[in-house]
Amino acid sequence: MTSPAPVARRDPKSTVLHGQTLSDDFGWLRDKNSPEVIAYLEAENAYTAQAMSGTEGLQAKLYSEMLSHIKETDESVPYPYQGWWYSTRTVEGSQYAIHCRRKAAGKEIDEADAEVVLLDVNKLAEGHAFMSLGGMAVSPDGWLLAYTTDATGFRQYTLHLRDLRTGEDLPDTAERVGSMTWAADGRTLFYTTEDEQTKRQDKLWRHIVGQSKEADTPAYEEADERFNLGVGRTRDGKFILLEAGSHTTSEARFLDASAPEQDFRVLAPRVEEQEYSVDHRGGLFYIRVNDIGKNFRVVTAPVDSPGREHWTEFLPEVQDAPLEDFDLFQSFCVCSRRRAGLTTLEVLPFVEGTRLGAASEIAFPEPAYTAAGHVNREFETTTFRYSYQSLVSPASVYRYDVSTGESTLLKEQEIPGKFDRARYGSERIWITAQDGTRVPVSLVYRRDHFAKDGSNPLYVYGYGSYGYPLPIGFSATRLSLLDRGLVLAYAHIRGGGEMGDLWHDAGKMMVKRNTFSDFVEVTEALVEQRYGHRERVAIEGGSAGGLLMGAVVNLRPDLFRAVLSHVPFVDVMNTMLDASLPLTVAEYEEWGNPNEAEAFAYMRSYSPYDNLQAGAYPAMLVKTSLNDSQVMYWEPAKYVAKLRRLKTDHTPLLLHVNMDAGHGGASGRYDYLKEIAFDYAFLLQELGMQE
């Protein structure tokens, strides 16, 4: 006999602001230390397990399929840095990666050289249900390793120092560490730490190897709650850079890496709504900046006088090609631009001093793909490494020779299990929204299972926030859906970064609803164009993409058959009105500040939790983690509790809480595969494809 779904008790609370009342019956679920809260979450997990009973065989089959397409023992392409070749490898049966290096004897790696294990994350994970490696930084002499770990999923990292000659960790440590970098002396480590309440990286510290944490000296503190700190070094190693950045504004400070005891200098004081990033070459700072336009340009400035009054344009802004990234080397630079939503890579050699030669664009063959620079640590080099993948082509790493213009394949991800890319097709189409905006959509399907006749189940994925371009990458796990006839669509909706900052601006703050209407209109158009069956549409999104899921389901519950929502940001009003929560104040620049009446009214108009109504809803699997530090577990828990009282149909409404993880779910690669198998089993069951 099927047990009834858990019903959370109501404890009505009201908040009155701007003459409007917000009602919340389930705020009590915020108390993570309450036995009642834990009991409720465990009851939801038990109910979900019960609802999914009968799919165990399908889950096992999906897991086996996905595992069959993964080369379990594998190694990344080694990259050179400071006299060593660094790589990461995995071993069959092990959950985590092993980070290694070999001594560099020349320009090519010698496999006969002994491998040195820097970090075996499997060993770090012993005794822990969760383990995440944050960052790694090797000292300039190559014999000290700074690294950070998180054993809870709360993204709260602890700093460790390891002596690579002995393999032993030193007593040096610090808590709540974010970024870190070494000074040139190899004894001074700069690192940032977060504020305990808001998890904002707000302090920079100077540590001398061998000293206690108490002896560390503060190097900078950021007072503005919108800004986070990050520290690093220029590629040539000459300067340490400290960046303070909000969602819309940034400011850089610099310090000679050979004089770590000195104070940081401001490069150019922050200007609201202006962002810039910095690198160095030959006594000049090269600065990518959006001071005269949203598409960014590059300017140079002398180290001794780097302020805006001394800036000289190096690369102009291009109106139809936003400059997404700028990589600087001794003899060339690389511009990563967005053209029609896709990445292009332009290589420009230096021919005399700062004068550039003719640009060479690296060509890519497919209609939808992702390309980017790939671990280019060395400044003095004549080659550039880049990665390439598409919806049907596995991830590859290439080496581009700047002098010849030739690309050499270093490695393509091996996909075992009789994978044949020719079986799969990919398309790039454009959907025109009601306001005339053209929205790109990337599609993939198995050719022999697809007919453009409206018969296929359709799966649409979206995000659309923070200016983040939705990657168009290969997924071995996705083959299990394609091989069953699903058509997968990736909607590059406004609010993302596919067309640069202007595309982001068109889907945030007081025009955020464009993100949701784009997704609805893309889905409708795909059905109308017969890419999928109207009654077999599944959708997925996570985090801010979970907000998207909640918003579009409220707008058009009839359009979707099944919804998979990961760590969804659905309680917009309560979260954004609580400045004590991590991220809230900084997020005002993405969503708006609800303490302002106009922003309050607009945000309330789309907040999923606040706009739930009595009625029929699609089948939904909502997933969260107890230790999530970005979207707190109680948002999806409250959302499900409220929806369960309002929905009038009998479609499944399931909440699954990972009690040992954070925002990204399980940390082990096999555990993560099992989570995906669970998700896919839910989708296939709801689409009538249980086999």
The answer to whether 543 is a known catalytic residue is: yes
Tokens of 145: 């390793």
Residue 36: what pLDDT? 97
pLDDT tens digits, 111-168: 667 899 999 999 999 999 999 999 999 999 999 999 999 999 999 999 999 999 999 9
Residue 655 has pLDDT above 80, yes or no: yes
pLDDT tens digits, 48-58: 999 999 999 99
The CA–CA distances, whole Å, from 192 to 80, 163, 165 equal: 27, 21, 26
Tokens of 439: 């929205």
Q: CB of 178 within 8 A of CB of 229?
A: yes
Tokens of 222: 């950021």
pLDDT tens digits, 429-451: 999 999 999 999 999 999 999 99
Query: Domains in the chain, ordered, with CATH?
Result: 13-67+418-686 (3.40.50.1820), 76-118 (no CATH), 128-266 (2.130.10.120), 318-414 (no CATH)
The answer to whether 663 is a known catalytic residue is: yes
Tokens of 591: 């969503």
pLDDT tens digits, 627-644: 988 999 999 999 999 999
Contacts 24+ apart (CB under 8 A), 286-292: 286/314, 286/326, 286/328, 286/333, 287/311, 288/323, 288/325, 288/326, 290/501, 292/317
- The residue from 396, 426, 543, 629 that is catalytic is 543
- Give the residue from 145, 139, 85 showing the smallest Cα distance to 120: 145
The answer to whether 558 is a known catalytic residue is: no
φ/ψ of residue 351, rounded to 5: -110, -35
Residue 281: what pLDDT? 98
- The residue from 407, 628, 629, 667 that is catalytic is 628
Name the range with the highest mean pLDDT among 419-423, 659-663, 687-691.
Answer: 419-423
Tokens of 433: 């929204």
| Residues 314, 282: Cα–Cα separation, whole Å | 14
Residue 110: what pLDDT? 65
pTM, entire model: 0.95
- The residue from 69, 99, 160, 663 that is catalytic is 663
